């Protein structure tokens, strides 16, 4: 199998983004085109590959006369796919590209009797669907057409209400862009600073919301942007570990949706899964695991609706979220066998979604399996799962699971009796966290606990006395929600509890 760490080819990504019907249509479309169809051979090879493997592709094409022109042929394949997709979607009158094409044609023909009703119809649709960027674009086409045709009467009638309405919608769009930009900024700050520099993280979080435009913003937003507003603040509280507040925001959001009888399509196909995703996370952090798993089921059922069949990329994106959340809930609540069983059941889905989930999904999956094997006492398999995590870590700076994986790696070696190795490893372990600028209070405590455990492993009465001290220190550290998440994720406290019960009963 090709390495999953290799950066994927853009042509490969385009091929695998196609739905089953789109692939079938592309092949039929190609059959109608005369001449050589080198691109179709490349398409069929890529379609069968689970991960992009250029060496395998070249090997299969080695005897073809065009093998040395692979870059050109891939470019031509992309061009033909896009051409086929334009044809495939040409019957969809609401598709922006088709609308613009019709308007351009009618502009060239100068047929105002057809142009004006058509543009008016689609402007109304964009307002109903809350796609203000399309509305503004259509208004510019309308203005250009009227100017080209020197339609004085149209300008006179439009000068009052028409331009005023346009300005209102432009203002709404401006505010919608503002909350969307803030939401994206929040995601970036969380990924960059949340687990490495808490002081910088909190400073940047406060800067994001320290903007006078937030005053009275909700009432100025169109519907989909109001959903983004809710999503922004539910995440704003969640990243600061204020999960009660985050969950309350999603409750208000769901009440708003019910009150206005809104469907996922009206809310936005992106927004609705985000609401469920945030509820899953908040419930898990509030230790309401059964409810969190129940909402995972709601997310999965939502993604099975026909609306998401037409938005495959979006559906796949949130299927990754669903799989990650289920594995997370199962393994970190001690349902280790259930976690591994779920992984086996979903292996096909995980392989299919590997390109979408990328390196982060691979790291998360290995981590959840490692935690599960650790809980089940299969320490060699723990190490087998963690080694790929450390390799993949080089490819992404934003995978949180790599940090607790370092602790689990040490604990597995302790259990396998590799005490000398662990004592040497503790030094590089501490340097690793210093290098990524993590505050070292928790790391110092972990190093101290493991060193004391190893050096006193044969003195059960000493361990029995040290255990409550370790527990008290961990409880103090866990007052900080950042550190609490780390302690839970690295399984240190669970490991100590299991050890203590064995040691204390034996000692007594």
Give the pLDDT band (50/70/90) at residue 505.
very low
DSSP state of 18: S
- Give the number of other CB atoms < 10 A from CB of residue 32: 8
Give the pLDDT band (50/70/90) at residue 398.
low
Please compute the mean of the pLDDT values over residues 212-236 and round it to a whole number.
92
Q: Mind listing the pLDDT tens digit for each residue in 276-321? A: 999 999 998 888 989 999 999 999 999 998 888 888 889 999 999 9
Q: Is it the case that residue 36 has pLDDT exceeding 60?
A: yes
Asked whether 120 and 57 are in contact (CB, 8 A), the reply is no
Tokens representing residue 447 in the block: 């190093």
Provide the pLDDT for residue 4: 39
Give the pLDDT band (50/70/90) at residue 256.
very high
Q: What distance in Å separates the CA atoms of residue 226 and residue 233, rounded to the nearest whole number? A: 11
Q: Is it the case that residue 91 has pLDDT exceeding 80?
A: no
Backbone angles phi, psi at 245, to 5 degrees: -65, -40
Could you give the dihedral angle defined by the CA atoms of residues 232, 233, 234 and 238, in that order, rounded to the nearest 10 degrees? 100
Asked whether 333 and 290 are in contact (CB, 8 A), the reply is no
Q: Mind listing the pLDDT tens digit for each residue in 403-414? A: 999 999 999 999
The residue whose two tokens read 């862009």 is: 177
Provide the pLDDT for residue 325: 95
Provide the pLDDT for residue 507: 33
**pTM for this model (two decimals):** 0.71
Give the pLDDT band (50/70/90) at residue 143.
confident
Domain boundaries, the chain: 10-88, 400-508
Tokens representing residue 114 in the block: 């057809």
* Identity of the highest mean pLDDT range in 6-10, 17-21, 87-91: 17-21
Q: What distance in Å separates the CA atoms of residue 62 and residue 39, rounded to the nearest whole number? A: 15
């Amino acid at each position: 199998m090709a390495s999953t760490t290799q950066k994927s080819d853009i042509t490969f990504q385009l091929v695998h983004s196609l739905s089953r019907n789109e692939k079938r249509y592309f092949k039929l479309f190609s059959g109608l085109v005369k001449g050589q169809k080198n691109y179709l051979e490349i398409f069929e090879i890529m379609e069968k590959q689970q991960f992009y493997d250029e060496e395998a592709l070249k090997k299969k094409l080695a005897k073809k006369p065009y093998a040395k022109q692979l870059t050109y042929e891939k470019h031509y394949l992309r061009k033909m796919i896009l051409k086929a997709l334009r044809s495939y979607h040409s019957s969809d009158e609401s598709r922006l590209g088709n609308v613009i094409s019709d308007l351009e044609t009618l502009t060239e023909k100068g047929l105002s009797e057809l142009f004006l009703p058509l543009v008016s119809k689609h402007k109304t649709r964009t307002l109903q669907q809350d796609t203000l960027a399309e509305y503004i674009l259509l208004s510019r086409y309308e203005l250009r057409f009227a100017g080209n045709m020197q339609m004085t009467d149209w300008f006179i009638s439009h000068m009052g209400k028409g331009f005023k309405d346009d300005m209102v919608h432009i203002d709404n769009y401006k505010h919608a862009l503002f909350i969307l930009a803030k939401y994206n900024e929040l995601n970036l700050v969380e990924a960059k600073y949340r687990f490495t520099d808490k002081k910088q993280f909190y400073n940047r979080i406060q800067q994001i919301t320290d903007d006078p435009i937030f005053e009275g913003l909700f009432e100025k937003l169109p519907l989909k942007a109001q959903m983004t507003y809710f999503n922004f603040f539910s995440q704003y509280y969640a990243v600061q570990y204020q999960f009660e507040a985050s969950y309350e925001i999603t409750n208000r959001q769901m009440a708003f949706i019910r009150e206005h009888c809104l469907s996922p399509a009206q809310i936005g196909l992106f927004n609705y899964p985000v609401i469920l995703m945030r509820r899953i996370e908040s419930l898990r952090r509030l230790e309401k695991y059964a409810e969190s798993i129940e909402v995972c089921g709601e997310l999965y059922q939502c993604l099975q609706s026909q609306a998401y069949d037409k938005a495959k990329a979006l559906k796949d994106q949130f299927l990754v979220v669903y799989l990650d959340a289920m594995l997370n809930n199962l393994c970190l609540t001690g349902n280790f066998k259930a976690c591994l069983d779920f992984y086996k059941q979903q292996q096909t889905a995980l392989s299919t979604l590997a390109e979408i989930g990328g390196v982060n999904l691979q790291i998360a999956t290995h981590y959840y399996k490692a935690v599960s094997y650790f809980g089940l006492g299969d320490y060699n398999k723990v190490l087998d799962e963690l080694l790929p995590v450390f390799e993949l870590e080089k490819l992404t700076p934003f995978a949180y699971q790599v940090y607790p994986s370092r602790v689990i790696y040490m604990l597995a070696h302790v259990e396998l009796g590799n005490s000398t190795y662990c004592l040497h490893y503790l030094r590089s372990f501490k340097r690793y966290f210093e290098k990524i600028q993590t505050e070292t209070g928790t790391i110092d405590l972990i190093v101290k606990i493991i060193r004391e455990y190893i050096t006193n492993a044969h003195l059960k009465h000493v361990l029995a006395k040290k255990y409550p001290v370790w527990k008290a220190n961990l409880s103090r550290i866990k007052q900080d929600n950042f550190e609490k998440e780390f302690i839970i994720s690295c399984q240190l406290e669970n490991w100590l509890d299991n050890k203590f019960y064995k040691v204390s009963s034996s000692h007594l």
